[in-house]
Amino acid sequence: MNREELRTKICGLLKQIAPDTEPEALKDNDKIRDVLGIDSFDALQFIVALDEHLGVDVPEKDYAKTDTLEHLLNYLGEKIH
């Protein structure tokens, strides 16, 4: 999966968590939770979705590395390859 495909996949998962938002419109450095209005419950559901759909278990200590699309893509890119 290349970076663009990964981005599309992530946006799809975010859309499931926050259906009323437009994750495709996120800029690379936007704080995902702030822009999409995701609370801690939804944030955990997103971490669960990453585990179930991409096979990446993000430990709590790494949550901060998933705050923007750029950080998340970098993090997942390392974990998947």
Residue ranges binding another protein (CB under 8 A) = 18, 20, 33-34, 37, 39-41, 44, 47-48, 50-52, 57-61
Q: Which secondary-structure segment (H or E) carries 1? A: none
Instruction: Tell the smallest beta-carbon distance from residue 31 to another protein (Å).
Output: 9
**Residue among 4 and 60 whose Cβ is closer to another protein:** 60
**Residue among 3 and 51 whose Cβ is closer to another protein:** 51
Instruction: Tell the smallest beta-carbon distance from residue 78 to another protein (Å).
Output: 18
Torsion angle of the four alpha carbons 60, 29, 75, 13, in this order, in degrees rounded to the nearest 10: 80
Instruction: Tell the smallest beta-carbon distance from residue 53 to another protein (Å).
Output: 11
The values of phi and psi at residue 68, to 5°, are -125, 165
Alpha helix locations (H) across the chain? Answer: 3-17, 32-36, 40-54, 69-80
